[in-house]
């Protein structure tokens, strides 16, 4: 049970791999929000994706409809006759749903928020010490508590699919991006405070295109379109954008073809890491120790200010991201491209 957020779902994939490897004959289902379902649909380690319609069930209207739908959702969970629930969300809502499945074993974190831990009968102990624990390792603690045999290294299996790869091939050809190294830029993030300034992305894009001869492609959701176009409007070199034009799987297929990826702390950045891409990630108000690229293959730049990381979505003086220089990010991209040549 891990409905959201996108990056957290990517971080949870090694737990899915561990469950499938230890229980090869089991029926495994994943409860996920509709917005994130495309990442899991068709995954070879999953038998079922159960949609959690949180957006439909929120708000202050339509109580009768919402009540019927939520009761139907609980009936779906109970019909599964699940023996085991692993709640990686760790909130009251997910804990309650874990209990409502009727599963005999309900695994969750002993320090789950909002009293979510009340619903578990197998509790994952909190690690001792004050050192930050990466989200991947925290989720894998649930697998360890179950006594599962883990891979030597966590396995991030992303089900991209041939159809998405064919889309990527045609889309890149249509944009004239073949024959050169491809640098994919992910300039957005859910928090405004986590975004590297637009003028920095523009300056980087110009240098990458002019000095390195690379193709620059922007990716993002439809909501990211205005930001992407603002950045492109600041650039003097040619760039391309598929922001708002791709599904999750199609974005993954495009990321597979990237020679380097530049991104803020955002879900698609973690997807690029899971796909084994060369990633340059940018951190200000959040902690790379907790939610940074996992595995050590990426270049991470973060603010050195005393207030960072503050974990604030809003800030009156949100200048920590500007501490990361265009020169540093450019040199990291150049280093990745030279290794591939």
Q: Kindly report, residue by residue over 131-188, the tens digit of the pLDDT.
A: 789 999 999 999 999 999 999 999 999 999 999 999 999 999 999 998 899 999 999 9
Q: How far apart are CA 59 and CA 16, in angstroms?
A: 32
Same domain, 166 and 140: no
pTM, two decimals, is 0.91
What total number of domains does the chain contain?
2
pLDDT surpasses 70 at 55: no
Which of the four pLDDT bands, split at 50, 70 and 90, describes residue 254? very high
pLDDT surpasses 70 at 208: yes
Residue 155, domain member (yes or no) = no
What pLDDT sits at residue 315? Answer: 82
Beta partners for residue 215, in sequence order: 182
What pLDDT sits at residue 16? Answer: 98
| Buried-exposed string 50-89: b where 16+ CB fall within 10 A, e elsewhere | ebbeeeeeeeeeeeeeeeeeeeebeeebeebebebbbbbb
Which domain CATH number covers 243? Answer: 3.40.50.2000
60-79 pLDDT tens trace: 556 677 778 889 999 999 99
Mean pLDDT of 93-122: 96
Same domain, 120 and 190: no
Same domain, 261 and 132: no
Residue 183: name the closest of 72, 83, 330, 298 by CA: 330
Instruction: Give the chain's radius of gyration (CA, Å).
Output: 21
Q: How far apart are CA 215 and CA 241, in angstroms?
A: 11
Residue 279, domain member (yes or no) = yes
Same domain, 235 and 179: yes
Which of the four pLDDT bands, split at 50, 70 and 90, describes residue 295? confident
Which of the four pLDDT bands, split at 50, 70 and 90, describes residue 57? low
Mean pLDDT of 178-201: 93
Same domain, 95 and 13: yes
Contact 302, 320 (CB under 8 A): no
Residue 88, domain member (yes or no) = yes
Same domain, 62 and 176: no
Residue 157, domain member (yes or no) = no
Mean pLDDT of the chain: 93
pLDDT surpasses 70 at 7: yes
Same domain, 234 and 289: yes
**Which long-range contacts link 202-208 to residues 24+ away (Cβ below 8 Å)?**
202/231, 202/232, 202/234, 202/235, 203/326, 204/262, 204/326, 204/329, 204/330, 204/333, 205/231, 205/232, 205/235, 205/237, 205/239, 206/235, 206/236, 206/237, 207/326, 207/330, 208/183, 208/330, 208/333
Structural domain range at position 323: 162-340
Which of the four pLDDT bands, split at 50, 70 and 90, describes residue 59? low
Residue 297, domain member (yes or no) = yes
Same domain, 184 and 316: yes
Contact 151, 18 (CB under 8 A): yes
Mean pLDDT of 244-260: 97
Mean pLDDT of 208-221: 97
pLDDT surpasses 90 at 309: no
Q: How far apart are CA 30 and CA 28, in angstroms?
A: 7
What pLDDT sits at residue 61? Answer: 58
Residue 251, domain member (yes or no) = yes
């Amino acid at each position: 049970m891990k409905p959201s957020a996108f990056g957290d779902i990517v971080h949870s994939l090694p737990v899915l791999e561990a469950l499938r490897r230890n229980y090869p004959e089991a029926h495994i289902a994943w409860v996920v929000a509709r917005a994130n379902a495309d990442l899991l649909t068709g995954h070879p380690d999953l038998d079922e994706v159960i949609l959690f319609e949180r957006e439909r069930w929120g708000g202050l209207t339509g109580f009768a409809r919402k009540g019927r739908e939520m009761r139907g959702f609980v009936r779906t969970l109970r019909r599964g006759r699940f023996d085991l629930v692993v709640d990686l969300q760790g909130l009251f809502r997910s804990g309650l749903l874990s209990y409502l499945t009727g599963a005999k074993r309900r695994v969750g974190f002993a320090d789950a928020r909002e009293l979510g831990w009340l619903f578990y009968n197998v509790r994952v102990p909190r690690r001792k010490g004050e050192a930050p624990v990466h989200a991947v390792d925290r989720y894998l603690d649930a697998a360890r508590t179950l006594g599962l045999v883990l891979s030597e290294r966590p396995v991030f299996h992303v089900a991209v699919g041939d159809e998405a790869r064919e889309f990527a091939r045609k889309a890149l050809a249509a944009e004239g991006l073949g024959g050169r190294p491809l640098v994919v830029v992910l300039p957005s993030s859910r928090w405004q405070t986590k975004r590297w300034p637009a003028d920095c992305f523009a300056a980087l894009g110009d240098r990458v295109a002019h000095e390195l001869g690379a193709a620059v492609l922007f990716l993002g959701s439809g909501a990211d379109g205005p930001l992407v176009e603002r950045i492109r409007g600041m650039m003097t070199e040619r760039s391309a954008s598929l922001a708002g034009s791709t599904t999750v799987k199609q974005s993954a297929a495009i990321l597979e073809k990237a020679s380097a990826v530049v991104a803020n702390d955002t879900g698609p950045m973690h997807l690029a890491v899971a796909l084994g891409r060369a990633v340059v990630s940018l951190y200000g108000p959040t902690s790379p120790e907790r939610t940074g690229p996992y595995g050590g293959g990426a270049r991470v730049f973060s603010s050195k200010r005393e207030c960072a990381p503050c974990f604030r979505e809003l800030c009156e003086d949100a200048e920590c991201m500007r501490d990361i220089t265009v020169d540093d990010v450019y040199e990291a991209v150049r280093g990745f491209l030279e290794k591939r040549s």
